[in-house]
Structure 1
Amino acid sequence: MTSYALLGLLTFGDELTGYELKQRADSTLRFYWQSPAMSQVYSELARLTSHGLLRKQREQRGTTYALTPQGRETLERWMREAPVGFPVFKHPQALHLMIGHLTDTTTLVAMLEDYLEQVTTAHADLTEVRRSLAVADGVGEVFHYPSLVADWGLAHFDSELEIARKTMARLRAEEPPAAGATGSDAPAVTSRPGESSEPGA
């Protein structure tokens, strides 16, 4: 999949160096796909070039890479024919929550509070990406489809924030009262054996 992802990042009409391609991957792929390491980017570029899917050219800023007609045809065939499959859902917070009986509510709530901060930061980062795409996000423009993915990602983050907040509220509501708490400031009335607790009895 990494090779197709890198080919896809070169379909926007520009030629990129390996470093620039890595930067584009970090600013886009990381929100919905694992961004490849720098070493992987260069190894894939070399492999794709050797198969005729990319052409490279020496420029002042370094070696740049561009999609060849064969590369575009390969990518288009993959888009048409390859099964998309179902995304693998790997959620560390959900895994910890599943075995939450091994810890306490305070620990679980703290975990979700930390997750809320992470999602909020990612949402802000993706919002900036979305703003950068607005210059050409109309139908038929170069960033139309990337903008759809960015909007999808923002909706996903909104959903994650809502789920985490509701889960935190539920955990807090289900937390048992502290030891000795009666729910009232008034002292409990007790009776000795054989005595009535009714006033005036």
Structure 2
Amino acid sequence: MTNRQKWEGTGPRDLPATAWAVLGLLSFRGARTGYELRKWADASLRFFYWSPAISQIYTELRRLERWGLATSRTSAPQEPRRYTLTDAGRAALAAWADGVDDPGPPVLKHPLVLRLWLGHLATPETLRALVERHLARTRDELAEVRGALRRAERVPQWAFPRVALAWSERRHLAELALAEEMLADLARLAAAGPATGA
């Protein structure tokens, strides 16, 4: 019997991606506060998906509790609530993760490329500066990904998150190569003379 067949809950079959991401964060051992989930999302999810805002995390936690997919408790009135996955939540998440439905194409929104697309309205100096700033930021992000990967390598239960982080490392390396090629393209355009705008 597959995980998909085991899940017989009455909750929504099409939770938003953020709900699945939060449920996924809860699937690792231990109870966590919304703030801790946000920190963990910043240390892992953001390298290959995105890190939801703290308000989004709490919105999804309330939704997941309503559907019986997560539960929470507090040890004292002033203490923050700590959330855990229920058995139903684990079954739903496993069915979703093990599902064969197409997750769809990645959504690419690259602000730098949008600006370059409108390069006929900008100066060559500005465009070069934007790409160089992007290169510097990507190098910093690559260092953060590598740090997260090193931390994940010390935890045997994080074998699959390591695969996702290794993909993110390769993506950042590819992004650096693409940005370097962008600088070369801009240099060729500059050498060719003024471009005609739209």
What TM-score results when the alignment is normalised by the length of structure 1?
Answer: 0.80
What's 2:14 paired with? Answer: none
What is the alpha-carbon distance in structure 1 between the residues aligned to residue 146 and residue 41 of structure 2? 16
Counterparts of 2:63 and 2:93 in 1: how far apart (Å)?
15
Do residues 131 (structure 1) and 150 (structure 2) align? Answer: yes
Distance 1:91 1:142 in 2: 33
- CA drift of 1:20 comes to 0.8
**1:93 matched to which residue of 2?**
112
Deviation of 1:16 after TM superposition, in Å, equals 0.6
Larger Rg: 1
Partner-residue secondary structure (3-state), 2:102: coil
Superposition deviation, residue 148 in structure 1: 0.6
Provide the aligned C-alpha RMSD in A: 1.8
Unaligned runs of 5+ in 2: 1-16, 194-198
User: CA–CA distance in 2 between the matches of 1:103 and 1:36?
Assistant: 33
Separation in structure 2 between the aligned mates of residue 45 and residue 2 of structure 1, nearest angstrom: 10
Please state whether the residue corresponding to 2:82 is helix, strand or coil: strand
Structure 1: gaps of 5 or more residues: 179-201
Counterpart for residue 121 of structure 1: 140
Q: Which has the higher contact order (CA 8 A, sep 6+)?
A: 2
What whole-Å deviation, never above 9, does each CA across 1:51-110 have from its counterpart, x for those lacking one? 110121223653211111100111112121543100111111111112212223222111
The question of 1:72 aligning with 2:72 is answered: no
Counterpart code for 1:144: A
Aligned to 2:183: 168
1:91-147, Cα deviation, whole Å (9 max, x unpaired): 1111111221222322211110010111111111111111110112xxxx3111100
More helix by share: 2
CA 1:170–1:64 in 2, change beyond 3 Å: closer, same or farther? same
**Do structure 1's residue 17 and structure 2's residue 17 form an aligned pair?**
no
Amino acid at match of 2:151: S
Distance 1:77 1:168, change over 3 A: same
For 1:108 and 1:120, locate their aligned partners in 2 and report how far apart those are by CA, in whole Å.
Answer: 18
Q: Could you tell me how far apart the structure 1 residues matched to 2:37 and 2:161 are?
A: 16
Which residue is 1:197 aligned to?
none
Does the CA contact (< 8 Å) of 2:48 and 2:165 recur in 1? no
What is the total number of aligned residue pairs between the two structures?
Answer: 174
* Percentage of matched positions with identical amino acids: 35
Whole-angstrom CA distance in 1 between matches of 2:94 and 2:52: 22
Tell me which residue corresponds to 1:148: 163
